[in-house]
Structure 1
Amino acid sequence: MAGRFWAKSGTCLGHQPPLSSPPAPSWLKSNTTLITLELADNSIMEDGILSLVEMLQENYYLQELNISNNALGFEGAKVIAEFLQKNSSSLLSLQLSGNKFKDQSAELLCQALSANYRIKEMDLSHNEFSDKDGEFLGSMLALNVGLQTLDLSWNHLSPRAAVSLSNGLRSNVTLKTLDISMNGFGNEGAAALGEALKSNSSLAYLDVSNNDISNEGIIKLSKGLEFNECLRTLKLFLNPMNMEGAVSLIMSIKKNPKSKMENLDISNVMVSEQFVKFLDGVYAIHPQLDVVYKAIQGLSAKKSIIQYPNPMKLIQSYADQNKIKVLDFFKSLTPTGMMKMPVSDFLKAMIQQNKIPLNRFQIRELIKRLDDKNGNVNFRSAQARGGPQPASVPEGPRLSKMAVSSRWATDHWWSVRSERLATAALESTPELQRPPRLHGIRSGLPCIAGCLCPLPRLPPGYPPSHVPLAPLAKLRAQLHTAGCEPDSGDTVLTADRR
């Protein structure tokens, strides 16, 4: 079974790991089940990186490696760059966020990525890339033929860097997701992006939030949307624009009959009722489009929410009248009757269906409630809110993600980093006390998956993601009683406290 290795924050993988077991890389070389290795924030030093790279050249099963927040610097970048140039690993995703990479590091990494065709996802956020590094990044994007996702958010990329980066985007044919939020592209950078979007044929997701782009830059960026045929999501949140910029964006999408735009985030912009009426006309041409703005001028957000009935109640009422289950209604939206559906497809299906009249605000509320945080809506979430569920569940639940620390065995005690599963298990077992609150993986940081802890505060040094919930057999029985089956949206952890 494919799994995940997790080392808690503070573990040193440099000179001498403070573990009684052998250093991780020595046994990972021959491991055939682990696909994800999480080593963020572990004070990894140069010899630790060398050991990891040595392991990666012998392990042909590992696909995801996270070594963020280890302050690797130039020496670490040099080791990683040499590894990437060899194209000899099974690794598909590499997270290098927060490693104090600067100009020299950017040059080495970009040279390596220019020739690398195996890495599909790269996270270089929260580093210190600046003007000159835009040239390296642009050249890399022009040559790279494998990268599909690139995160460059929270760097120091200025307008000059943005121009170079955009030049590389023009000829890139593989990148689908680009996050350049929290930089300083400015209006000059926005204009360069607009030119790149005219010819780019692969980018589907672009986040340019908080880049000091005013109406002037937004209007120039909009010019690219008049010709682009592939972009589906554009995020422009926290840029100093107003309704003038918003109108230019909408006009550009309207002019482009081949636009694939589905999500436009201008959620800090106040719009007028006239803008909303104009937007309805654009929706008629592009029914897949969803524009998120802050509010309508002169109309409070609270008032606009109250005037729309609860969408789940409307769906429940429809199901009752037609003597069907809510789940049956949702499954009818998919051609194959699956339990999951991409958010964009769900939006289009809900707009096109004529059984229950819902507006975009109500549909957006539905998406929030059903979103599995992986780009899909999960209809099981609607089922869980619909009352008691059937007790049928396949024997031996399928688990797609696992995390095992080297200080823990993997057979007897299970813990759950899924609020949905943990709540179902606890509600079906009265003798277990409900956890008083959610606790993050690291102190002060919320856990995205929702780690349910049975203690108000964990003892120092106690791994919060390995809190035992119940023995394996008991957990299965609890979930069986609750009619709840683990799926790809749940993270189930195995642990045995010694």
Structure 2
Amino acid sequence: MGCSPTRHRSQLSKLDSPSKLDAPCITQERSIETPGVSPNRKLLLAYYANETTMNGKLKGLFEAIFAKEELEVTTIDLSYHNLNVREIYHLQFVLQNFQNLRELKLNNTEITSKDIKRLYSSLELMPMMQVLELQGNAICNEGIKYLTKLFFRTMKSLKVLNLSNNRFGDEGIATLCKGLLSLRCLEELRLNSNNIYSRGLILLSQTLCQIKTLKRLGLAGNPIDFESVRVLVRSIRSNVNLKELDLSRNGLSKQVKYMLPEGQAVIKA
């Protein structure tokens, strides 16, 4: 599969009025006092003032920044709205203002590996990130390489990583495994429907046996076989924290249902 799939973009419409904006795409945890407007915030304000077309949720986020200068945003959720290249740059500007961000959800936004590269410099500033959701996009191995760099350099406190439905295959898994060991707090890993075959699952198993914090693992809808699942189960048997293993939609329901010791984890098959 190619690394830069065609992205179908809808026409940008005129800005909606603030009263018609979608449900809040930001979460305020607390307010902080700031002595004044930072240079970067001034740049962002100038950029926003000259912008004539912008996705509604991003517009709401920009307005929230400037309506209350001391607002601290800890969650940004832009899921289920296709982001074009221009909007990715809008998001890049926004992210640079919230280095204490804890949750970023960009599920089903049609972002690609090139978009991950564009956002990299902003995401690199976020050591407090705990939830990163990128399900249902077009992130191939090149994008996984940038994510792996983030895990090495900054996002060591990540607890939830959702990369389901990106179809990056065994090559992407091999790259991802290099960064997973840097995630010392990882509790939930979702890799459903990513064209992971037996080779990829065995590589993943060799990594997961060293991640004892993992509580939920999603591998549904991948073309894996029974023997590779046996390798996986052996590797996670010693993880007493594991609560859920999702192996559904793999055609292995009868074989894997009772493979883990009773009480260790629920196998969805």
TM over 0.5: yes
TM-score normalised by L of structure 1: 0.40
Aligned-residue Cα RMSD (Å) equals 3.6
1:16-35 alignment, distance < 5 Å = 16-18=15-17
How far, CA to CA, are the matches of 2:213 and 2:130 in structure 1?
Answer: 14
SS of 1:94's partner is strand
The aligned counterpart of 2:111 is 101
**Offset from partner CA, 1:224-248 (integer Å, 9 cap, x none):** 114434322211111133655556x
The change in CA–CA distance for 1:134 and 1:65 in structure 2 (over 3 A counts) is: closer
TM-score normalised by L of structure 2: 0.70
How far, CA to CA, are the matches of 1:22 and 1:134 in structure 2?
Answer: 36
The aligned counterpart of 1:45 is 54
The counterpart of 1:136, out of the listed 143, 146, 157, is: 146
Q: Is the 8 A contact 1:233 1:263 kept in 2?
A: yes
Offset of 1:209 from its aligned partner?
Answer: 0.7
Residue 176 (str. 1) matches residue 187 (str. 2) = yes
The aligned counterpart of 1:121 is 131
The change in CA–CA distance for 1:70 and 1:242 in structure 2 (over 3 A counts) is: closer
One-letter amino acid of the counterpart of residue 198, structure 1: C
How far, CA to CA, are the matches of 2:139 and 2:126 in structure 1?
Answer: 20
How far, CA to CA, are the matches of 1:23 and 1:46 in structure 2?
Answer: 10
One-letter amino acid of the counterpart of residue 52, structure 1: L
Q: Is the 8 A contact 2:257 2:267 kept in 1?
A: no
How far, CA to CA, are the matches of 1:54 and 1:192 in structure 2?
Answer: 45
How far, CA to CA, are the matches of 2:225 and 2:121 in structure 1?
Answer: 34
**Offset from partner CA, 1:63-120 (integer Å, 9 cap, x none):** 443322221133323332444345445x533321221101111223455434412332
Higher relative contact order at CA 8 Å, sep ≥6: structure 1 or structure 2?
A: 2
The change in CA–CA distance for 1:76 and 1:174 in structure 2 (over 3 A counts) is: farther
Q: Is the 8 A contact 2:102 2:131 kept in 1?
A: yes
Q: Percent identity among equivalent residues?
A: 19
The aligned counterpart of 1:369 is none
One-letter amino acid of the counterpart of residue 117, structure 1: P
1:319-338 alignment, distance < 5 Å = none
Residue 208 (str. 1) matches residue 211 (str. 2) = no
How far, CA to CA, are the matches of 2:132 and 2:186 in structure 1?
Answer: 11
The change in CA–CA distance for 1:118 and 1:222 in structure 2 (over 3 A counts) is: same
One-letter amino acid of the counterpart of residue 94, structure 1: L
Aligned residues: 231
How far, CA to CA, are the matches of 1:183 and 1:22 in structure 2?
Answer: 36
The change in CA–CA distance for 1:151 and 1:97 in structure 2 (over 3 A counts) is: same
Q: Which has the larger radius of gyration?
A: 1
The aligned counterpart of 1:356 is none
One-letter amino acid of the counterpart of residue 45, structure 1: M
The change in CA–CA distance for 1:14 and 1:182 in structure 2 (over 3 A counts) is: same
One-letter amino acid of the counterpart of residue 192, structure 2: S
Q: Which runs of 5+ in 2 are unaligned?
A: 1-10, 32-52
Q: Is the 8 A contact 2:168 2:194 kept in 1?
A: yes
How far, CA to CA, are the matches of 2:218 and 2:135 in structure 1?
Answer: 13
Q: Is the 8 A contact 2:21 2:57 kept in 1?
A: no
- The answer to which of 105-114 and 144-153 deviates more is 105-114
**Offset from partner CA, 1:281-317 (integer Å, 9 cap, x none):** xxxxxxxxxxxxxxxxxxxxxxxxxxxxxxxxxxxxx
The counterpart of 2:162, out of the listed 133, 151, 168, is: 151
Residue 265 (str. 1) matches residue 268 (str. 2) = yes
